């Protein structure tokens, strides 16, 4: 497939990417990401590189299979992909080099892009890095589309420039970026700062992408709010039955 992908990002907080394929062109996607297909586009699910490629992804907690969508008609046709939770979809140009991203960040890509798993280089980064030892590794010559929670901030770090980031807020970084985990200094900061015990240290050169709302943080807040309100009946929200249950006349 050509390096360039004809695409359009649509939506705001719940984004989708709509890709237009020429006859004979194809894209790859994570199973379950497809939103719609126009006539002429056929899908085929395989391991995306053999049995070992599928097994490596499965060991990393990803799907064993990758789905390929090919335009087998004689005209251009569109298809759309969407993520499973609110956030932004960002296109990443892999001609600059390999990138590493958090698990479940990959959405879809040009057919020539390879999706595999990689282990963090340092024991501390793997043990305390929020995403464990496993990262998604994207290599190839075309565009890949990565999904993140909330808004995405892109930073270009110069050689030796450092950035301290909450471990859950990292979306991805280029292979040239050094990734490590450091402990927050000070007992009070660790216990009462609300930021956890460790943070990620990213050192340039290279690009990094940071998300404002990691899905794990968002889900935790929802669960805590649901637990706090369990068994409560809000006045005015349940009509006559709500007033009777709450003891109001």
Whether 230 is covered by a domain: the verdict is no
Q: Position of tokens 């990401």?
A: 33
Asked whether the beta carbons of 191 and 157 are under 8 A apart, the reply is no
- Residues 6 or more apart whose Cβ sits within 8 Å of residue 31: 45, 63, 65, 66, 67
DSSP β-bridge partners for residue 198: 183
Asked whether the beta carbons of 138 and 114 are under 8 A apart, the reply is yes
Whether 246 is covered by a domain: the verdict is no
Whether 249 is covered by a domain: the verdict is no
- DSSP code of residue 14: B
176 vs 223, higher pLDDT: 176
% the chain with pLDDT above 90: 41
Domain that holds residue 173: 6-224
Whether 163 is covered by a domain: the verdict is yes
Number of domains in the chain: 1
Specify the pLDDT at position 54.
54
The model's pTM is 0.76
Whether 45 is covered by a domain: the verdict is yes
Whether 144 is covered by a domain: the verdict is yes
Q: CATH number for the domain including 38?
A: 3.60.160.10
% the chain with pLDDT above 70: 69
Whether 141 is covered by a domain: the verdict is yes
Specify the pLDDT at position 63.
64
* pLDDT tens digits, one per residue of 135-189: 888 999 889 999 999 889 999 999 999 999 888 888 999 999 998 877 765 544 4
Is pLDDT at 17 greater than 50 in this prediction?
Answer: yes
* pLDDT tens digits, one per residue of 61-105: 556 678 999 999 999 999 999 988 889 999 999 988 999 998 888
Specify the pLDDT at position 2.
41
* pLDDT tens digits, one per residue of 29-46: 988 899 999 999 999 987
Is pLDDT at 241 greater than 50 in this prediction?
Answer: no
126 vs 176, higher pLDDT: 176
229 vs 179, higher pLDDT: 179
Taking the alpha carbons of 148, 149, 150, 153 in that order, is the dihedral positive or negative?
negative
**Confidence band (pLDDT; 50, 70, 90) for 193?**
very low
Whether 236 is covered by a domain: the verdict is no
């Amino acid at each position: 497939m050509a390096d360039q992908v004809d695409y359009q990002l649509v939506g705001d907080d719940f984004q989708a990417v709509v890709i237009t394929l020429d006859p004979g062109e194809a894209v790859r996607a994570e199973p379950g990401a497809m939103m719609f297909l126009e006539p002429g586009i056929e899908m085929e699910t395989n391991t995306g590189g053999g049995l070992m490629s599928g097994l490596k992804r499965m060991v990393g907690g990803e799907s064993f299979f990758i789905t390929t969508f090919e335009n087998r008609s004689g005209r251009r046709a569109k298809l759309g992909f969407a993520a499973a939770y609110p956030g932004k979809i960002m296109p990443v140009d892999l001609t600059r080099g390999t990138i590493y991203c958090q698990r479940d960040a990959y959405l879809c890509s040009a057919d020539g892009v390879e999706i595999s798993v990689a282990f963090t280089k340092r024991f501390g980064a793997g043990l305390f890095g929020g995403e464990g030892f496993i990262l998604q590794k994207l290599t190839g010559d075309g565009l890949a589309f990565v999904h993140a929670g909330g808004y995405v901030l892109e930073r270009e770090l110069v050689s030796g420039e450092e950035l301290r980031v909450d471990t859950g807020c990292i979306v991805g970084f280029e292979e040239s970026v050094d990734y490590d985990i450091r402990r927050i200094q000070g007992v009070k900061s660790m216990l009462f700062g609300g930021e956890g015990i460790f943070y990620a240290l990213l050192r340039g050169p290279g690009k990094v992408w940071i998300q404002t709302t990691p899905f794990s943080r968002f889900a935790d807040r929802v669960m805590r709010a649901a637990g706090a309100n369990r068994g409560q009946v809000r006045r005015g929200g349940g009509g006559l039955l709500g007033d009777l249950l709450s003891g109001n006349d």
